[in-house]
Amino acid sequence: MVALDDRPQTRSKRRLTLQTSDIAAETTVIRSLDWDRDRFDIEFSLENGTTYNSFLIRGEKVALVDTSHEKFRQLYLDTLTKLIDPQQIDYLIISHTEPDHSGLVGDVLDLNPNITIVGAKVAIQFLENMVHRPFKSQVVKSGERLDLGNGHGLEFVSAPNLHWPDTIFTYDTKTQTLFTCDAFGMHFCDDRTFDEELERIEQEYRHYYDCLMAPNARSVLSAIKRIGELPDVTTVATGHGPLLRYHLTDLMGRYQEWSQTQAKSVKTVGLFYVSGYGDGDRLAHAIAEGIGKTDVVVEAMDLRDAQPQDVRELVELSSGLVIGMPPQSGDMADPAKTAISTILAAANAKQAIGLFEVAGGDDESVDLISNQFREAGLTQGFPAIKLEGTPTEATYQLCEEAGTDLGQWLTRDRAMKQMKALDSDLDKALGRLSGGLYIITAKRGEVSSAMLASWVSQASFEPLGFTIAVAKDRAIESLMKVGDRFVLNILEEGNYQPLMKHFLKRFAPGADRFADIKTYPATNGSPILADSLAYLECEVVSRMECSDHWIVYSTVDAGRVAKADALTAVHHRKVGNHY
Ligand code: FEO
């Protein structure tokens, strides 16, 4: 093992170091040890730093698997060039394009512009935007092989969503080593290359799974199934932390067990569309945003180059399906139509379906496809979204609300269970917390929304401010981000029923909440309800995530009371486990 260091070898000062070691025949790991990194993305804090692992495989041809984080630029490039003349590197395999693995792709290309970059189609597309120069590339799919010679036959395994849609694993038939990048990794930094001491790492292994992999548990199960189709795997060469060899069966088994448990409790929507066609990307994104408000996971797939096996797997693991209509003509029409036939054949009557047009006139007939799914017994998750001209902000709002409707339908059993579950003294006591009755109204451009609220409380004097708890799946939540403006309408005791009844209604996606309601515009543009007792004009200053709600802190710019002697309506509840 070789260690390179930019600082003296004491724990407190060893911020960035590099190690190399041979892990199998003609296979070397280059471990970038980031001793003091204390946070990864926004989702989790690190107690033991992390490592970024890169691998060199020397057959008759040479492949580098992933690179490192750009903070290791000099150390990594010095090490790589000591290990091999960069001109001898034939392939750079990109497992995943997040910068902790691909941060030095441009630098490696600088050393040898003739390298062929190998990756999933989406990875190559992402890289084009990252390195800003032409490069040789080879797109690979699950099951395809690349022969390096001298027995090193590489087989690729598609592993979308672990942790981005671009992920592929690489299996070397000679060394029985599977290179998995984020999957099966852990943020753990120390001198040992392998997982000899289980007790030392198992807590971090679980923490990493919970933060990074659990949200895509069904994708983990699909990937494990594909790994099971490979010959023996004796080493899992991960992109973070120790490589798995000594406790491989145990640790991979844990992923399977945790994912099976997780998959039972989380529902998935498979979202199929043709990227880059019409307005499909943005419409699909809006629908996914809406679904995401309901604790349902969305897994997206591009119909254009989807493999039948991938399509079938995603359909089978999904509780809901959303399809952006493909074009009727052109290059991508036939593969996309074939993919829709595959979806239809794999769908089952317990699923919900939602369809949307992406380019108006040139789309496949949404009604035709809709009928086919209805005949197969699927429930309509939302009415088919048809485009009339170019999508507007109102169209995107409609898509988001349609997605939320679908997600709420999929999670309805859980919501019912929650309502019935707590009939305890505690729950009844909690129900004695009372609040006023309010209606929040907001308008941004041509998009508007409203919500009945009672979890409202003054929170500061200077500036004047208050908080509102807004459930994550409320449509108005999208109009209550930091910097957004809205109106808090305060309802009057004895005179609130008509407004409360109206705004408690379930509105269809995109429906106008203010039809037949008397309003006039506030200075900030949001509607003031003419029949409210008082109103406040507000601006969102900050938000705090609290489980199933956002606590939204807002300051108040202006306000007025219509009737000086009237009282605010009070909301009395019986129980505290639902509204
Ligand atoms: Fe380790 Fe998703 O990057």
Q: Are 82 and 62 in contact (CB under 8 A)?
A: no
Contact 231, 39 (CB under 8 A): no
Q: Which amino acid does the sequence have at 267?
A: K
Q: What is the structure's pLDDT at 428?
A: 86
3 state SS of 508: coil
439: enclosing H helix or E strand: strand 438-444
pLDDT digits (tens, 9 = 90+) for 179-188: 999 999 999 9
The residue whose two tokens read 């003739």 is 114
In this prediction, the residues of the chain whose per-residue pLDDT falls under 50 are 2-12, 42
Give the residue whose CA is nearest to atom 1 of ligand 1: 182
What are the tokens at 186?
A: 């852990």
Tokens 């200075």 appear where?
523
User: Does the Cβ of 182 fall within 6 Å of ligand 1?
Assistant: yes
**pTM given for the model:** 0.68
Residue 255 CA to ligand 1 centre (angstroms): 17
Q: Decide: 96 in ligand 1 pocket, CB within 6 A.
A: yes
Torsion of CA 459, 465, 467, 470, to 10 degrees: 180
Rounded to the nearest 10 degrees, how much is the dihedral formed by the CA atoms of 427, 432, 433, 435? 130
Alpha carbon 193 to its chain centroid, in Å, reads 31
Q: Are 166 and 97 in contact (CB under 8 A)?
A: yes
- In degrees rounded to 5, what are phi and psi of residue 346? -90, -15
User: What is the 396 CA–ligand 1 centroid distance (Å)?
Assistant: 30
Measured by CA distance, the residue closest to atom 3 of ligand 1 is 98
- CA dist., res. 579 & res. 15, Å (int): 51
Distance from the alpha carbon of residue 202 to the mean position of ligand 1, in angstroms:
19
Tell how far the Cα of 181 is from the centroid of ligand 1, in angstroms: 7
Q: What was the pLDDT predicted at 420? A: 67
CA–CA dist 455, 467 (Å, integer): 8
Q: Are 571 and 436 in contact (CB under 8 A)?
A: yes
Looking at residue 276, its pLDDT comes to 78
Which tokens go with 528?
């003031």
Cβ 441 vs Cβ 486: under 8 Å: yes
pLDDT of 358: 86
With a 6 Å cutoff on the Cβ, whether 302 touches ligand 1 is no
Predicted local confidence at residue 423, as pLDDT = 62
| Nearest-atom index, ligand 1, CA of 182 | 1
Give which of 69, 65, 81 is closest to 26, Cα–Cα.
Answer: 65
State the pLDDT at residue 304. 76
